[in-house]
Amino acid sequence: MMQRKHLILVPGLLAAAVVAVACRDSATPARSVAPRPEFWAVSAACFRMTGGGRIDKPGANMGGAESPTGKNTPGSRDFATFGFQARPTACNSTSGSGHITWVEHSTAIFGGFVLHGDVDTFVEVASEYSGKPCGRFSGPARAKRRDTGEMVSVFFEVHHACDEGEPGVGHDHIRMLICLTTCDPEGGNAVYDRAGLLTGGNLQYHRLTGRGA
């Protein structure tokens, strides 16, 4: 058995974080998994990312990599759905543009919430699985609780969004961080942290072309 930690937003106490620890059997994905790097090398990007889909409660795995679990039962609502488009403003620039919508469906996490964020940074990191280029992007956001309608200003970071090929389900992976101030590079100050392989949808890598290249 291996432990997994969720950092979650606390209803009514937006400056605090609660650690909820879950335990499940470790599992080995069908494809080989490289150990999670201790740090992620960052460089300027010359591509853009688009995507949308769903990730469910992930399972801890050897090396810390996310493992596919299939969709959770409708009653648990322990999943998130999302859609985004993000890009650098030009090749070799770390400034970015774009937008993300992220919906947390579990009412146990901040009452469930809908986040809308604007991308102002975009860089390249390498996939922990394959070494392929992945997008990391961040910026300011507004989150609205689904149970009370309360709005709060936060910061988000998509720590990595990786297109690992087709189909996206069970291959592509994403990690979303939400912070009360600008997120630390590896999310040490995150109050929300959800990551996993897609259980629905797809992520797409696109080379920059035209005036953006």
Token match 């740090």: residue?
39
The whole-number pLDDT of residue 23 equals 28
pLDDT value at residue 129: 83
Please give the pLDDT value at position 172: 94
- Residue 33: per-residue pLDDT: 33
pLDDT digits (tens, 9 = 90+) for 165-212: 999 998 999 999 999 999 987 888 999 999 988 989 999 999 998 665
- Neighbouring C-beta atoms of residue 91, cutoff 10 Å: 13
List the chain pLDDT tens, one digit each, 213 residues.
Answer: 222 333 344 334 333 333 232 222 222 223 223 334 445 789 999 999 999 999 987 543 333 445 555 676 666 688 999 999 999 999 989 999 999 999 999 988 889 999 999 999 999 999 988 889 999 999 999 999 999 999 999 999 999 999 999 999 989 999 999 999 999 878 889 999 999 889 899 999 999 986 656
Distances 23 to 138, 194, 197, 198 between C-alpha atoms, Å:
30, 16, 18, 20
Give yes or no for a contact between 109 and 152, defined as CB atoms under 8 angstroms apart: no
Residues 15-29: tens digit of each pLDDT: 333 323 222 222 222
Predicted local confidence at residue 211, as pLDDT: 62
Look up the pTM and report it. Answer: 0.78
Exposed e or buried b per residue across 190-201, where buried means at least 16 C-beta atoms within 10 angstroms of its C-beta:
bbbbbbbbbbeb
Q: Residue 204: what residue type?
A: Q
pLDDT number for residue 61: 35
Looking at the DSSP bridge assignments, the partners of residue 89 are: none
Which pLDDT value is given to residue 4?
Answer: 30
